[in-house]
Amino acid sequence: MTPFPERAQVVIIGGGIVGCSTAYHLARLGWQDTVLLERAQLTSGSTFHAAGLVGQLRSSANITQLLGYSVDLYRTLEAETGLATGWKMNGGLRLACNQARWTEVRRQATTARSFGLEMHLLSPAEARDLWPPMKVGDLVGAAFLPTDGQANPSDITQSLARGARQAGAIIFEQVPVTAIEVQAGRVRAVRTWRGRIECEILINCAGQWAREVGQLAGVNVPLVSVQHQYLVTEPIPDLPRDLPTLRDPDRLIYFKEEVGALVMGGYEPNPIPWALDGIPEGFNLSLLDSNWEHFEPLMDQALERVPVLRDTGVRELINGPESFTPDGNFILGLAPELDNFFVGAGFNAFGIAAGGGAGMALAEWVVNGEPPFEIWPADIRRFDSPHADVRWVRQRTLEAYSRHYTMAWPFEEYTTGRPCRRSPLYATLREQGACFGEKLGWERPNWFAAEGEKAVDVYSFERQNWFEAVGREHRAARERVVIIDQSSFAKYLVEGRDAEEALDRICANDVSRPVGSLVYTQLLNSRGGIECDLTVARLARDRFYLVTGTGFATHDYDWIRRHIPADLQAGIVDVTTTGAVLSVMGPNSRKVLQALTSVDLADAAFPFASLREIELAGVTVKALRITYVGELGWELHLPVEGAGTVYDALLEAGQDLGISNAGYRAIESLRLEKGYRAWGADIGPDYTPLEAGLGWAVKLRSNRPFIGREALLAQREKPLARRLACFTVADPQVVLLGRETLYRDGRRAGWLSSAGWGYTVEQNIGYGYVRDPDGVDTAYLKAGHYELEVATERVPCKIHLAPLYDPQMKKIKC
Ligand SMILES: Cc1cc2nc3c(=O)[nH]c(=O)nc-3n(C[C@H](O)[C@H](O)[C@H](O)COP(=O)(O)OP(=O)(O)OC[C@H]3O[C@@H](n4cnc5c(N)ncnc54)[C@H](O)[C@@H]3O)c2cc1C
């Protein structure tokens, strides 16, 4: 018996593909003092019963890159470890049976091109040539990704485990972790029947057990188990051995060839959750009973697509539970609750495809303190309070599962678990025709229906039903005044004797300004990448009020908390739920507010980028003179109990000035025209302010140190390899959604990071980085001739280096 260590630098819990991949990559990075603990035997969780399809294309460039890494690894791993992975690059086919799906597939093909992944459109006949057993009478077309493939999940895992062992990692099977010792915000040790291991880092790769393992340390891992079935047929005579994997989303099914037989599975619209009261003890190398009744509708679909199945026996119907998450993406990263507890779990039935890349990203995160690239769609900090309630998580997760293969409509909203978090104005806005969207559990008005219109989204790839309504709100903001409920903004107080110094080190912009100042700033990582994008208002010498986007509540809080230097006296408190926010925006906003207060709101007394406390209708309000829509305006931050009163007073005062409600879709259109960047789309941890055109918001000229400064100074010495620019397409028939491929002088130069329609400039607007390793400067940007690929069709576009709309000049520069 291998002696059981008393301490290790890293302990990994879970010997599935993700745990083994993480151990392997840690070893490759030179971290050899790793112990992996598996409660039963390697692969005995979900990994051993995976079907083994390995697809790569996702809607995020970086997650696609991560899956591409898996493919590269599985292709070469055998040469390194001597154990085969069963990797077969037979490609992946995706079918489209109606026009809407065909549009989706064509948009996916363009996304693939944007991300540098090969994807070809095929006619039904060409698709059948690649997959002879299928009937194609109902097909509109298909797409083929030649570098997709399939692998043997258990073999890959064993191969990774061997690679990890060869580099010094120790793996113990039959050793469940039963307790985790936590002290002062850090994991100290894990306990098992074999003994206790002290560790510097703990990594939770426990698959569907990861939520329970997290609970041992007070960490929330929002995933639940859901049953997932696929069948394996008896061998089919003459079945080609090189069939690509096949996804038939309109029929909700997928196929893979396996030693002369077919594997066929799918995503039911009515998924069945599992282990509602916890995963039974000893559930390893185990499957659930086959549920034929539940599988039958998928089987019927499969018989239509592949008639030979009618004459083929079924060897088995595998029913395996797998962990799924509320948004269909996996969960990776440093848990916000503790300082040394990482998670890699919740793989939503693509853990084999993701395993290689996820292990790499997790290992780099552990070793370098930062992931190798932004992985925001999978970041554990994308969750918040609703995700702590397992019932809420289960409800939303089942919806996400049921939508796995349904059309991914632009602007589509989830419907379950709503309403959860409501602003005090929720009911009022609803009465006024609000159509709500949801972010992090918050109900937020997306747009307002007028009399006779229904406050319901009707999805399509064309202009959707709310297009005119949002146009009304947009124009009201440009020409009169709008009121927007932005209560869901995340808000923090940073306080303490050294609060100024702490923020000075964390913020790229200069926040050491007088009380009453407001500063727009980025918070950078050591590479100069933009981790947060927010405003800092100085309330007192030792008190700052920070406001950031709804979705970034956990992320930004976590970043700031971790980066307040330990030797400084300063702390952060989340005050999101104590305050409502009403934004009053538009040329008439001053008149509306001035009617309610005697405080002078004129420019001289209340300039841009400042805040004052004012009384409105008996409520004390923090008025922040700032805008994300490019108009004169104020954000009013006020106690929750005053929201209704202030809202009513504003509506009354603004009646003759044309005040009306506006929602988040109008904000999006307005900010696109004004050139404001959106975090998670146009900017993020991979992009620096210099590349994003935000150098003006960085205090590089001062000699004061801040995180990311050295990286920016170094970057400034060389030509930039990419720069964000604005692009317009005049044709209103074209619909830009983001991820369209950008061409400069006929060569692929990047893709759109965000896009939409500008109602004032009457153009499609998109932002995207123009890339060239030899350098991208203004002259280079201006000299190019640009086109965009939209759903595989090229359209001409114009580049702009200044905002399209400027309220000061009242001029449209388009
Ligand atoms: C029917 C089915 C088909 C699938 N098909 C595909 C596919 O075609 N392609 C694809 O990419 N993915 C597929 N998947 C998904 C894939 O199987 C999973 O995403 C992947 O295996 C997850 O790996 P993991 O390492 O996160 O979890 P697991 O493999 O479940 O590993 C977690 C390990 O942690 C161990 N553990 C738990 N608690 C403890 C503890 N306290 N102490 C020590 N050890 C512990 C468990 O025993 C387990 O071995 C499929 C899944 C199912 C169910």
Of 610, 63, 26, nearest to 365 by C-alpha is 26
Give 785's contacts (C-beta < 8 A, 6+ positions apart): 744, 745, 746
- Residue spans of alpha helices (H) in 83-133: 99-114, 124-130
Q: What residue ranges of the chain have pLDDT lower than 70?
A: 809-814
The Cα–Cα gap between 323 and 275 comes to 11
pLDDT at position 42: 98
Atom of ligand 1 nearest to the CA of 21: 25
The Cα–Cα gap between 34 and 170 comes to 6
The Cα–Cα gap between 286 and 325 comes to 22
DSSP string, 331-367: EEEE-TT-SSEEEEE--TT-HHHHHHHHHHHHHHHHH
The pick from 11, 12, 190, 209 for probing ligand 1's pocket by mutation, whose C-beta has the most ligand atoms within 8 angstroms, reads: 209
The Cα–Cα gap between 280 and 40 comes to 14
Q: Is 493 exposed, middle or buried (0-12, 13-18, 19+ CB in 10 A)?
A: middle
The Cα–Cα gap between 621 and 608 comes to 17
pLDDT at position 813: 56
Give 366's contacts (C-beta < 8 A, 6+ positions apart): 10, 26, 31, 201, 203, 342
User: Which amino acid residue places its CA nearest to atom 3 of ligand 1?
Assistant: 50
Whole-number Å distance, alpha carbon 163 to ligand 1 midpoint, is 19
Is the pTM of the predicted complex or chain greater than 0.85? yes
Ligand 1 proximal residues by C-beta, below 6 Å: 13-19, 37-40, 44-47, 49-53, 176-177, 205-209, 213, 228, 230, 284, 318, 320, 322, 345, 347, 349-353
Atom of ligand 1 nearest to the CA of 322: 53
Of 526, 648, 657, 641, nearest to 592 by C-alpha is 657
User: Which amino acid residue places its CA nearest to atom 2 of ligand 1?
Assistant: 50
DSSP string, 314-339: EEEEEEEEEEE-TTS--EEEE-TT-S
Identify the bridge partners of residue 202 per DSSP, sorted by sequence position. Answer: 11, 341
Backbone phi and psi for residue 47, each to the nearest 5 degrees, phi listed first: -60, -40
- As given in the structure block, the two tokens for residue 735 are 């619909």
Give per-residue burial for 66-89: e unless 16+ CB within 10 Å, then b: bbbbbbebbbebbeebebebbbbb
- As given in the structure block, the two tokens for residue 85 are 């992975």
Q: How many CB atoms lie within 10 A of CB 387?
A: 23
Number of H helices, E strands in the chain: 18, 40
pLDDT at position 2: 86
User: Which amino acid residue places its CA nearest to atom 25 of ligand 1?
Assistant: 16
HSE-up (13 A, CA, CB side) for residue 225: 23
The Cα–Cα gap between 532 and 594 comes to 33
